[in-house]
Copies of this chain bind each other. A is one copy, B any other.
């Protein structure tokens, strides 16, 4: 009987879900907010994080888990902010797994942190299928990618708690063709609760609304 029970449990939860549930418990016991950032390569996730860490230095203690196929380029950028950072190299894999996050959480000084950001591998498709045990997903879309991306890649927009529309500095002078109202409309149609923040992590424009949402999410834990 007990063997059968284990088999059913494995079938229902699966390997990744098992670790994700362990991460949920680990974070809940410690009242830590963990956000899983997902986007295409080059949307500006690392720049968003570095600026957020720096600007909120006196309000929130932020740690980062960096997921990359290769290199520690992003982890080095984050470490210049003095925030604790753990690098995971997936060596070819297109997404992070909950088991990797479980191991990385052990490497962070978790007791001294309020928020843990996971920067996933740059991929607008696969990471959205892998629950890491996070409190929520944050999707980042650069205006250089085009306003049709919520319609064309709906899964992550349907699942995320927040959408950061980044690089809005490129909208000035009509340098890129991006209909922000269209992107907002399509994303909201997929997910009526999605919080949408047009930002420029480069210039700082729009970042305060994002910071208010983030500090509110920590306060409501």
Contact = CB atoms under 8 A, between A and B. Distances in A.
A187 interface: no
A28 interface: no
B151 A71 contact: yes
Contact of A149 (B42, B92, B169): B42
A134 interface: no
A142 interface: yes
Given A69-B154, A70-B152, A144 B170 contact: yes
Nearest to A169: B175
Contact of A42 (B40, B69, B70): B40
A5 to B, nearest CB: 31
Interface stretch (A19-27, A104-112, A117-125): A117-125
Q: How many copies does the complex hold?
A: 2
A73 B122 contact: no
A126 B94 contact: yes
A131 interface: no
A92 B129 CA distance: 10
A73 B124 CA distance: 18
Given A125-B126, A126-B94, A73 B151 contact: yes
Contacts of A125: 69, 94, 121-123, 126
A153 B152 CA distance: 22
A14 interface: no
A204 interface: no
Interface of A: 40-42, 68-71, 73-74, 92, 94, 121-126, 142, 144-146, 148-149, 151-155, 167, 169-170, 175-176
